[in-house]
Amino acid sequence: MFRKMLVFLVLSIGLYSNLIAQKTYTFNSPGNSCYFEYMLYAPDEVYERHLRPIVMVVGSAGDAANEVFEKDTLRNQLAFYNSLFIYVPCPAVSPTTRLNCLEPLKSLVAGHLRRSQNCFLRIQDRSIKRADLERWDLQRAFVNIQLPENSDSEFVLEEFTDEYDLEEKMGGVYYEEETEINEDNLPETGRIWRTYFGPATQYHFKLTGVIRDKSSHESLPGARILVRSTESGAISNADGYFTLIDVPSDTTTLIVEILGHSPLEVHLSPNVNKNLFVIELSPSIVMLKGVNVVAVREDVRFTDNEHVGAIRMTPKKLEVLPNIGEKDVMRSFQLMPGISAANESSSGLYVRGGTPDQNLVLYDGFTVYHVDHLYGFFSAFNSNALKDVVVYKGGYEAKYGGRLSSVTELTAKEGNQKKFNIGGDLSLLSLNAYAEIPVGDKFSSIVTFRRSYKGFLYEKIFDKFNTSSSSDTPQAGPGGRFTSNAEATSYFYDLNGKFTYRPNSKDVMSLSFYNGTDKLDNSIEIDGSAMGPGGGLGGAGFSLNSTDLTKYGNTGSSFKWSRQWNSRVYSNSLVSYSHYFSDRDRSTERNESDTTGTTNTVKNGIFENNDLRDYSFKSDIEINMGDHLKVETGMFATYYDILYNYAQNDTSSVLEKHNMTALAGAYLQTRIKLFHGKLHFVPGIRATYYDLTAKNYFEPRFAFTWKLSNKLTLKGSTGKYYQMVNRVTREDILSGSKDFWLLSDGKSIPVSSSDHYIVGLSYETNSYLFSIESYYKELYNLTEYSLRFQNRPGLTTVNENFYTGQGTAKGVEFLLQRKIGKVNGWVSYTLGQARSNFSVYSAFDYPANQDVTHEFKLVALYKYKRFDFSATWIYATGRLYTAPSGAYALTLLDGNSSDCFTVTTKNGLRLPDYHRADISVNYKLLAGTDGDRKRREIGYLGFSIFNLYNRTNIWYKQYTIVDSDIIETNVNYVGITPNLTLSLKLR
């Protein structure tokens, strides 16, 4: 019989292609067991609207369709305004016989309304029991069934509105696909059910709202809220708040876009709270039929209509990118155009020919001065603690200051505001755990901790795949070279925490802290007994134990209070503390035996200590003056206390500097939109008074974006930038240059500055982005420290070893990104040049240390069911270095000779080109039973291979002088390194 009904169903669909309306219809033909008249009714009287809930009501025994309609009370409720009702008669004898007809009827109507899966059933006949429903598997056909035994209770609106609300209860949900779906044809945005179809009641009003994550209630910064069919829109601030100054009517549709979440259409209605309109976005990757939100999300955004050279990335993205042991936010940014990728040993970003110290790193508002873990292979930031990361590659706004090149702003998670959550990752390198603890509905917290470990697998992999060596042949006399090996070993840990209190809908207070420490041990053992006859020691043997022990870390904390005063004014104030320390103890013990077997021990050492404390206050105020004008202003003050001590050979100080000073200032910038939002420009000025030089520094800034068409945007920016706290490079030819933080004093270490000129063009469609950006930077009063030039022994003051120079950086970046689709990713190429001019090194310009001419990056992501595949390939011109080039001997007055060494021209040599491929695959772990369409995502199992083809990339060359011989050591980056990651979470 069921087959017969299906045949009839197909025939009926054909007949049903006419417009439906509120009237009585006939289902099947006379003689069929399911022959009866039923009635359709839509409260909004729009019968042709697709994607709407269906409510089927089966009357009491003996009721005809029109009687069921008349007795029904649901249709008058506002919650069912957009539902379509089907009124089904109930036979007086054996009402249960009607049950087998309900599913085909629902399919008929739902099929006409395409994708209407939200179907609900209300049965009024008391003789029908739940067991009767099971016979026809009606629980599968209807989302919710209401029987007479609970007919007194009302339908809960929540159950009717959105199947997606499962996420609210369960966290991330994975929807098992029933059939293959062509993602390329998915709509640009998802939709939320419209609940109101009446006329507008209010026009041209202000709407203030907050964007938050549906499952955790975390506020979402950086979301774009656009008013459909207009040019107006807003971007949510750090606390997720936004204000639309002029919403045309209260039936307008908003489009909400944010990284890591599906874009969404939100329909306003007269009932929404215009002072605090809450929009909740789902984090799941939903690309399936049968759910309300059908769209593809972006995880990386290279363009931003309000900022030039900004890249925003959701930490969620990090999971699917290959990693060497830890998903790492800074490492992932190095895959972006304009940010150098050839520095495995630096998590600090080399942005557009700038150095990492020229990149301002803000973590919840406090400055982080050192972002490296484990020789820089990992960043100091635990991605489990992060919510949002933005890098401004240059020409950044007046709101930020104190750095010459760029800004990286990291916002930490506030923690799940609804339910307790716990999770963690275990990789071959580290253990990473977090807990999210809400207390009531006003307080949330998150604590994350991770620590590296040298487990069995770590050792095995490292020993098997990672070797460093050099292969120079020894030479006679001064200049003979021997080889040795060095391998990097160490551990690190970090702890993050954030406690957020929302006393009311306007205020947010949060306390954030970070503590991380590294202990590094990079020791080298050299055995000279194996050297050839050309060695300079005449057959004598020696051994050299070089202890290289470094301990460094950061501690930072900020307390932030932000308030949405009203729809126009938002403020954000914070006090913060940041402490960076670095203690380096490098001592060399040399045991030398002569031909008689006598052993002499010589011990030398370098002791280097850097200690920086930063106490800051800042306050930002945003004032929305209208749809075309927004004013942003603020003030800031910082007190610095910086100590640096450097001792060479023994504990006597070569350089000791201890400076304390304060700076304070203010900024003002405006966001102006003209020509219906097509032209957007941001003039601004920043003024700083710096106590150590007792001078004022003014930094004018200007940026614009000009939408030439819907797809084509021209953008540019320029500005002046000053940097008072500098990380000075201490040149060291032998063991690699090091850096230390010092305050500019206006004398030996001048206040450095830069001028930026940036222009770019982007062409963006729904699927693709092509972008070209060109930059030119001039840098003034850069400082380096070198002990290479001491012409007045004993009389040279420490300040004479600081050298001042200039620099330029210029380049062009090309990017092609496929934003959505099963295979997505990007290709980028950067042609760049960074030059320095320090007269002490050379009379002419020379390539700066960070100069990289060509850099090519390929990032490909592929999603197949529960698998996420990714592959990256990086190619970069080799980095520059300076090396010992030769030697000579001078006869002294006492008859002895002095061996002297010469070096190449500054940065006269390049290491071999750097290239590397990484791959990874993640498999989603789900709770529940196989075959369930909706299953909760509880983590993933990831496998990645770093440096897939085991390319030997040289980190740096180290030279050691033993008597008259130079020992050259290639310190290499890591070779092929597989990694397994198990990530689990409660919700």
Question: Does 904 sit near other proteins (CB under 8 A)?
Answer: yes
Least separation in angstroms between CB 721 and other proteins: 16
Question: Does 733 sit near other proteins (CB under 8 A)?
Answer: yes
Across-strand partners of 556? 514, 578
Residue type, 102: L
- Nearer to other proteins by C-beta: 260 or 832? 832
Question: Does 891 sit near other proteins (CB under 8 A)?
Answer: yes
CA–CA dist 117, 792 (Å, integer): 86
- Nearer to other proteins by C-beta: 177 or 899? 899
Using CB under 8 A, pick the residue from 423, 438, 847, 942 that binds other proteins.
Answer: 847
Residue type, 82: N
- Nearer to other proteins by C-beta: 179 or 596? 596
Site for other proteins, residues 175 to 234, rule: CB under 8 A: none
Question: Does 648 sit near other proteins (CB under 8 A)?
Answer: yes
Buried b or exposed e, range 599-628, using 16+ CB within 10 angstroms: eeeeeeebbbbbbbbbbbebbbebebeebb
- Nearer to other proteins by C-beta: 619 or 853? 853
The crossing angle, in degrees rounded to 10, of helices 2-15 and 99-112 is 30
The rounded radius of gyration (Å) of the Cα atoms in the chain is 34
Question: Does 811 sit near other proteins (CB under 8 A)?
Answer: yes
Question: Does 831 sit near other proteins (CB under 8 A)?
Answer: yes
Using CB under 8 A, pick the residue from 456, 471, 792, 930 that binds other proteins.
Answer: 792
Distance set, CA 222 to CA 212, 234, 314, 853 (Å) = 11, 9, 11, 33
Question: Does 774 sit near other proteins (CB under 8 A)?
Answer: yes
Question: Does 893 sit near other proteins (CB under 8 A)?
Answer: yes
Question: Does 791 sit near other proteins (CB under 8 A)?
Answer: yes
Question: Does 758 sit near other proteins (CB under 8 A)?
Answer: yes
Using CB under 8 A, pick the residue from 91, 683, 908, 928 that binds other proteins.
Answer: 908
How does strand 541-564 pair with strand 507-521? antiparallel
- Nearer to other proteins by C-beta: 418 or 957? 957
Residue with tokens 């610095």: 640
Write each residue from 866 to 885 as x if it is in contact with other proteins (CB under 8 A), else as -, in one continuous string.
-----------------xxx
Using CB under 8 A, pick the residue from 31, 199, 538, 793 that binds other proteins.
Answer: 793
Using CB under 8 A, pick the residue from 716, 719, 821, 939 that binds other proteins.
Answer: 716
Using CB under 8 A, pick the residue from 732, 745, 764, 913 that binds other proteins.
Answer: 732
888 CB contacts (<8 Å, ≥6 apart)? 478, 899, 900, 902
| CB atoms closer than 10 angstroms to residue 129 | 13
Using CB under 8 A, pick the residue from 79, 887, 919, 941 that binds other proteins.
Answer: 887
44 phi and psi angles, rounded to 5 deg: -85, 0
Site for other proteins, residues 464 to 523, rule: CB under 8 A: 473, 475, 477-479, 481
924 phi and psi angles, rounded to 5 deg: -70, 135
Distance set, CA 379 to CA 352, 387, 491 (Å) = 19, 16, 13
Least separation in angstroms between CB 789 and other proteins: 6
Using CB under 8 A, pick the residue from 107, 959, 970, 987 that binds other proteins.
Answer: 959
- Nearer to other proteins by C-beta: 475 or 515? 475
- Nearer to other proteins by C-beta: 637 or 772? 772
Using CB under 8 A, pick the residue from 61, 540, 679, 903 that binds other proteins.
Answer: 903
Least separation in angstroms between CB 659 and other proteins: 24
Least separation in angstroms between CB 975 and other proteins: 26
CA–CA dist 701, 714 (Å, integer): 18
- Nearer to other proteins by C-beta: 829 or 873? 829
Name the nearest CA neighbour of 756 among 808, 683, 698: 808
Which listed range, 30-38, 343-351, 624-632, 955-963, lies at the site for other proteins (CB under 8 A)?
955-963
- Nearer to other proteins by C-beta: 694 or 893? 893
Question: Does 35 sit near other proteins (CB under 8 A)?
Answer: no
Distance set, CA 177 to CA 259, 828, 866, 926 (Å) = 23, 33, 10, 14
Site for other proteins, residues 320 to 339, rule: CB under 8 A: none
Using CB under 8 A, pick the residue from 795, 797, 929, 931 that binds other proteins.
Answer: 795
Least separation in angstroms between CB 737 and other proteins: 11
Question: Does 588 sit near other proteins (CB under 8 A)?
Answer: yes
Give yes or no for a contact between 40 and 68, defined as CB atoms under 8 angstroms apart: no
Torsion angle defined by CA atoms of residues 246, 250, 254 and 256, in that order, rounded to the nearest 10 degrees: 90
Write each residue from 121 to 160 as x if it is in contact with other proteins (CB under 8 A), else as -, in one continuous string.
----------------------------------------
In the chain, the N- to C-terminal Cα span, in Å, equals: 45
Question: Does 833 sit near other proteins (CB under 8 A)?
Answer: yes
Output DSSP code: residue 319. G
CA–CA dist 468, 465 (Å, integer): 10
Which listed range, 112-120, 121-129, 458-466, 807-815, lies at the site for other proteins (CB under 8 A)?
807-815
Across-strand partners of 658? 643
How does strand 725-731 pair with strand 679-690? unpaired
Buried b or exposed e, range 889-915, using 16+ CB within 10 angstroms: eeeeeeeeeebebebeebbeeebebbb
- Nearer to other proteins by C-beta: 507 or 899? 899
Distance set, CA 25 to CA 1, 44, 105 (Å) = 22, 19, 11
112 CB contacts (<8 Å, ≥6 apart)? 13, 16, 17, 20
Which listed range, 246-254, 374-382, 531-539, 827-835, lies at the site for other proteins (CB under 8 A)?
827-835
How does strand 310-313 pair with strand 507-521? unpaired
- Nearer to other proteins by C-beta: 639 or 814? 814
Which residues make up the interface to other proteins (CB under 8 A)?
473, 475, 477-479, 481, 588, 596, 604, 606, 648-649, 716, 732-734, 757-759, 774-776, 787-795, 810-812, 831-833, 847, 853-854, 883-888, 890-896, 898-905, 908-910, 959-962, 966
